[in-house]
Structure 1
Amino acid sequence: MTSLLLPTPDTDAEFARITAALTRRGFLGGSAAALSRLALVGCSSGEGGDGADDATRTVQTHYGSVDVPVDPQRIVAVSYNTPWQLQAVGARPVATLDYSAYIDQFTPTQQKFIDGLSTVGVFLEVNREAVVAAAPDLIVGDAYEIDEDMFRELSKIAPTAVYSGTNRSDWRAVAEGVADAVNKGSALTSNREKYQAMQERIRTEYAAQLGENRWAQVAIGGSEGHFSILYPTGVTGAMLADLNVTRGEFIPDLRPATGFEAFPLEQLEMLRDVTVVIYPKQPNGTDSAGMKSVFASPLWSRIPAAASGRVFGISTQVTDYGTAINWLNELETGALEALS
């Protein structure tokens, strides 16, 4: 069970990213709340960050209205995706979770962004004393990892702004909330407008390639002999659906809360009419061991997309508008231009 819930170094890198993401989007259900309550280390109260006299503004969060600094100087990011959402709008935290166990899952730019920062725990395990030591004037995170009990404890240290979306594919709501909390709404708006313009241009310019081909998004299945289909209920599945692609006719019509569904390799025949396959690559641009195993299946070569060399990998992990733009750019330069 652990390998399905936590991003660990001994798990195939891509599956770790997918499963870490689904965990952050509520896959754990009630157990996530229990875990986060147990994981908040050191529950004495009283300490608070500096900056009590600074000007504040009120923001709306998952847990209600919160007064936050107008110009936060010591931001602590307590959720897995939060540093990259801050990075996208030009805000640098003073502390984050410890990503060293799976640092290779991130791009060189992301690695550089968090290099040398203090750490305040690991995924789903926030260390309260480490947060206090970071002397934050603002704490930010998402409600998929920060439940209400943890929110209350963190709020004793500094103003805490926590955000959520309507479902796993709704990264926009969290990214926009984080940007608002750190008063970087203008940067967020700029990124959003660039993303929307690029999305519309691609949808129009490549309408034939998107609509006349049969598309599928494939990933590893998490266990030997399996593969996964990525659905519009997931992050990049929703992005591809927004481009009005035509999906394979024989792919099961599902809406999994996790954003993907695993199938035995014997069921690769569901892709028998698929002419374009998109799959996630590792951040360094290589194929994971799990994807290589899928590609090695004799059934894979029978898929029209594989037979014609129309299988395209994308390495960007989407957490915000900046990385969403990068994902679209990879889709365009790697797949759509080749299909033109």
Structure 2
Amino acid sequence: MTLLRLRGAALAAALLSAALVLTACGGDSGNSDDTGDAAAETRSIKAGNGTIEVPADPKRVATIGNTTLPFIDIGGKPVGVTAESDSDVKQLPADQQATYKSATILAPSADQVDMEKLASLTPDLILVQIPDEEFKGIEKQLTAIAPTVFFGLDTEWKGLADGLAEAGNQTDKFGKQKAEFEGKVAKIKKTYGAIIAKSSFVDVIRWDSSDPGTFAIADIGCSEIARDDVGMNFPESPEGKDPLAWTALPFEQISSLSKYDVVTYPVDDKGQPTEPFAPVVATSTWKALPAVKSGRALGIFCPGNNSYGSVDRYLDSLDSALATLPAT
């Protein structure tokens, strides 16, 4: 249940009224030397909830749902966040882990946001990506506290990254990350183009929540980057169907991976199979795969696929892994 206490709503309303008064006072353009004018400047942002007026240079940003890690990735320092899993936080660079830990946790999930706590942080911008219905349920409470920029779950990751950088005025680091992404993709295509063109790939995974003795073919996540941007031939679900990654396959079907030239699987930042996937590589069926026996099973580190910084780290790992493929 969302913690929409009456006193929290009253506080939010009071904060909104104060913000309106301050904006009205700072909006007088007659005194160009008044530093309040700069603080009152706004920009128009197009988002899933319409055209939103946001501060030109927001200083106290709160992030809800899937916006937290991408915003931190581009250099943002949110004052309040909804909780991320320990495993996701562990994969962040040390400085980003510190940024996350310095923020106030608003709730374990977006549908439980403590509005009173959020209002007490006096944010000047709120960034949100959650299901549409969840957002509709809390939209009025959020917008009463601060300008709120919403992205639906159907927003493609590059669009989300662009939107967060624009709304949060974090374009400097974002621009560098985006340029690095484009350079890394071009390098991989040029260096391994011949191998990519003549090879079939499959990406396999196990989730933390996977049933014992099962794995899945991953057609979502980082392999989307390899497929859609790099041009690697990974299988994917037909349009309109559920992702292949949602179908649990028994270990007995590991042998079906023999038809692919190259198998990729998840490893941590030290190159070791992730904890959920470790049971797969321990099976005799995995060890007997032609790709495994011939050095064509590649462990790839995927810290995330919803921001340029994390995708850049994935591309570095992919580059290094492709370099190990034996010559044909």
Contact 1:119 1:130 in 2 (8 A): no
What TM-score, normalized by structure 1, do the two folds share? 0.78
Distance 1:194 1:102, change over 3 A: closer
Q: 1:88 to 1:204 in 2, by over 3 A?
A: same
CA distance in 1, matches of 2:304, 2:76: 19
Identify which of 202, 212, 231 aligns with 2:188.
Answer: 202
Instruction: Tell me, yes or no, if structure 1 residue 189 matches structure 2 residue 175.
Output: yes
Q: Secondary structure at the match of 1:73?
A: coil
Distance, in Å, in 1 between the alignment partners of 2:158 and 2:165 is 11
Say whether 1:107 aligns with 2:78. no
SS at 1:76's partner residue?
A: strand
What's the CA shift for 1:137?
0.6
Q: 1:77-104: CA deviations, max 9, x gaps? A: 112x323222232221112123475566
Which whole-Å CA distance do the structure 2 matches of 1:85 and 1:253 have between them?
A: 26
- CA deviation after TM superposition for structure 1 residue 259, in Å: 6.1
- Identify which of 237, 244, 247 aligns with 2:231: 244
**Paired residues of 2:205 and 2:218 also in contact (CA < 8 A):** yes
Q: How does 1:141-180 map to 2 (within 5 A)?
A: 141-144=128-131, 146-164=134-152, 166=154, 170-180=156-166
Aligned match for 2:5, one of 33, 38, 42: 42
2:255 to 255, 262, 269: 269
> Where does residue 86 of structure 1 map in the other structure?
71
The residue number in structure 1 matching 2:41 is 55
Shift of 1:202: 1.0
Aligned residues with identical type, % of pairs: 24
Ranges in structure 2 where 5+ consecutive residues have no aligned partner: 27-39
Q: Secondary structure at the match of 1:280?
A: strand
Task: Quote the Cα distance in structure 2 between the aligned partners of 1:76 and 1:328.
Answer: 29
Please state how far the C-alpha of 1:252 moved relative to its aligned partner.
7.8
Distance in 2, matches of 1:284 and 1:41, equals: 43
Change (3 A) 1:257 1:131: farther
Change (3 A) 1:268 1:102: closer
Coordinate RMSD, CA, aligned: 2.5
Letter in 1 for 2:313: N
Per-residue Cα deviation, 1:244-297 (whole angstroms, up to 9, x for no partner): 2234xxx68545545613211122232112232222224565433331111122
Is 1:95 paired with 2:62? no
Asked if structure 2 preserves the Cα contact closer than 8 Å seen for 1:107 and 1:283, the reply is: no
Of the candidates 215, 218, 223, which is equivalent to residue 227 of structure 1? 215
- Unmatched tracts of structure 1, length 5 or more: 1-37
AA at the equivalent of 1:142: Q
- Cα distance in 1 for residues equivalent to 2:267 and 2:283: 18
Task: Report the equivalent of 1:311.
Answer: 297
Aligned mates of 1:207, 1:275 — CA distance in 2: 15
Q: Shift of residue 64 of structure 1? A: 0.6
User: 2:81 is aligned with what amino acid?
Assistant: T
Are 2:283 and 1:297 aligned?
Answer: yes
Distance 1:272 1:282 in 2: 24
Distance 2:276 2:168 in 1: 38
Measured in 1, the distance between the counterparts of 2:162 and 2:70 equals: 9
Q: CA distance change for structure 1 residues 257 and 151 in 2, over 3 Å: closer, same or farther?
A: farther
